[in-house]
Structure formats: C-alpha cells, structure tokens
Copies of this chain bind each other. A is one copy, B any other.
C-alpha cells in the first residue's frame, strides 16, 4: 500500500526512544512532519504546533500524539476534525469522559482512533493470554514496584492532579491484566498512600474480583529501592503462570518459556496501519477505568512527604 503520511506531535523522550525508530523501520509509514515546541528533526517538516502542521500539510493521513494526556483531547479533536487518523500514547486522556467523546467523534468522522497500551505488546503477553484461555483461574497477584527517583527524576507532574502517581506505571500492569485474563474484573477495595505534600498516590493496594469471585490483588509502589519488580502471577488449575519484567519474560511453574523479541512500539504501529486499512478504531478504556475506580473507591492514607532529591 501507499505509505501513510504521518506526523508526530510532542517530541520528548518517549517519541525519540520509541516512536521515531518504530516509524523509520516500518515501510507502511512516511514520517513527514513533527510538531514540538523544543525539538527539531531533520528529514521532516518541523512545526511549533499541531495547528500549524495541519494547516501547512493537508496531505497528512495520520498523527501520533505523544504530548502529555492533559492536552491530548484538544489535539485529537483538532486532528479528527481535519480528517486525520489518530494514534494516542497511553493513557488516552486525562479523563474517561473525554476519551469516550473522542471515540464518538472518530466514528462520526469515519477516521481511525487507536488508544494504545504499549505493554500489551510485550513479548510474553500474547502467549500468556493464549495459555490462560480456558483455564480455571484461582487467583492473581500483581506486583509493580519501582523507584520513582530512578524512573521519573524531576517529573513533579506525576504527583500533581491528573498525574496519577504510582498508577502511571501501574496502568501498564492493568493494561496487561485486562488483556490476559479471560474474564472482566472490578475493584472491591483499595488503599492509596498519598505523601502529605503531594496530590497523587505513591503506593496503592488494590483488591479486585470478577464474576467468579476470583481474588485479584495488586500491590503498586513507587518507593522500591534495590531490585525492581514488574510481575504478574496467575494461579490456575494447571499451575502458576508468571509474567515478569513488565511482560517481557514468561514462566510456567517457574520454567522459562520462549517468547518473541521486545517489539512493543513496532507492534503498535503495525496495528495502527491495519486499523486504518480496515477502517476501524480500537479504544479500550478498561485500564484507565480501573484507575479512575481506584481513585473513586479507594481509602486515602496520608504518608511521609516525598522530596525528589
């Protein structure tokens, strides 16, 4: 097919590390433009805003939005209104309502909207989902523990309203759990630890359940020094499945299973091209909905102030 002419909006770390290399390696795309207030990129037209990009380049087919979620709705609405297909970094918005609204706008405009969850394309996830299909699930334990000072140095916004705190990485775990477990689940109880000088939680313990009352627990913590943990354990009638390292390693009863290579962003762009070709959208808000549910239903405990130095 003719390559999709695509523009990237918001050229920060995630765009440089992931989006640009994935696009360069994929012949279905031609990266023709970027919009960024700070960054420049040779080999593409450079704009200061999405608005300027849309105005100057009517031939654009699609845009990929990598700016923070607080500006995502306005950008996506503008791009859809201009007739572009839109791919959204995670999380797809600052609120659930705006994402639902965008999905309706994409449908009305007959354009593709793709709300991505990159962790769902970690190499262990598809094999884990296939192995779990049809098994009886007895319990699930999610441990997502990392050192915020190492992974988010100086990112004060993460503890601001809308920054989601420990749910910024935790939503990746929820995006995997909602992809591999055969049944929908919902929150029963949660406790959120919020530093007394911040707005968003630094840790959270979540207790979910499903229609079969399967216990599903998640332990999220931003205060983990030493070894870092991004694990999901699923106990079944056929043994224990473990997805480790954020979904990149798979074990059954402790035995390492072969998986493909790490290809998260290449897989996202491959899927976006397929959705565009098929005239479809993919907007699954389930991970963000679980986070909103945790803020709605969770009990808050004030804990020690957090200072990022």
The reply to whether the CB of A96 lies closer than 8 angstroms to some CB of chain B is yes
Check B96–A292 contact: CB distance below 8 A.
yes
Please name the residue on chain B nearest to A290 by beta carbon. B97
Q: Is the CB of A292 within 8 A of B296?
A: yes
Given A105-B211, A211-B77, A211-B105, do A97 and B289 touch, yes or no (CB 8 Å)?
yes
Alpha-carbon distance between A289 and B98 when the two chains are bound, in angstroms: 10
Q: Is the CB of A293 within 8 A of B184?
A: no
**Does A161 interact with chain B (Cβ within 8 Å)?**
yes
CA distance A227 to B203 in the complex (A): 42
A265 within 8 A of B: no
In the bound complex, residues from chain B placing their C-beta under 8 Å from that of A101 are: 184-186, 210-211
Q: Is B211 a contact of A297 with CB atoms below 8 Å?
A: no
Q: How far is the CA of A298 from the CA of B300 in the complex (A)?
A: 14
A72 to chain B: closest CB distance in Å? 11
Contact in complex: A297, B94 (CB < 8 Å): yes
B97 lies within 8 A of A293 (CB) = yes
A84 → chain B closest CB, angstroms: 16
Chain A interface size range: 20 to 34
Closest to A189 in B: B161
Q: Give the residue name and chain of the B residue nearest to A101 (CB).
A: B184
Mark out the residues of chain A between 272 and 309 whose CB falls within 8 Å of any chain B CB in the assembled complex: 286, 289-293, 295-300
A152 part of interface (Cβ distance < 8 Å) = no
Shortest Cβ distance from A77 into B: residue = B211
A95 and B293 contact, Cβ closer than 8 Å, known pairs A161-B299, A211-B101, A300-B199: yes
Please give me the residue from chain B that is nearest to A291 by CB atom: B296
Chain A residues 184-211 with CB under 8 Å of chain B are 184-187, 190, 199, 210-211
Contact between A96 and B293, CB atoms less than 8 A apart? yes
Closest B residue by C-beta to A162: B297
Shortest A108–chain B CB gap in Å is: 10
Instruction: Give which listed residue, B77, B186, B286, contacts A73 with CB less than 8 A.
Output: B186
- Residues of B close to A295: CB separation below 8 A: 292, 295-296
A104 adjacent to chain B (CB < 8 Å): yes
Q: Is A100 an interface residue (CB 8 A)?
A: yes
- A161 cross-chain contacts in B, Cβ below 8 A: 190, 297-299
Contacts of A184 in B (CB 8 A): 97, 100-101, 104
Contact A186 B98 (CB under 8 A): yes
CB contacts (< 8 Å) of A77 on chain B: these are 211
Chain B nearest CB, measured from A219 CB (Å): 18
15 example contacts (A-B, Cβ-Cβ < 8 A) are as follows A73-B186, A94-B297, A95-B296, A96-B96, A96-B296, A97-B186, A101-B210, A101-B211, A104-B184, A161-B299, A162-B297, A289-B292, A291-B296, A292-B292, A292-B296
- 10 tightest A-B CB contacts, nearest first: A98-B186, A97-B186, A95-B293, A292-B292, A295-B295, A161-B299, A101-B184, A292-B296, A295-B296, A162-B297
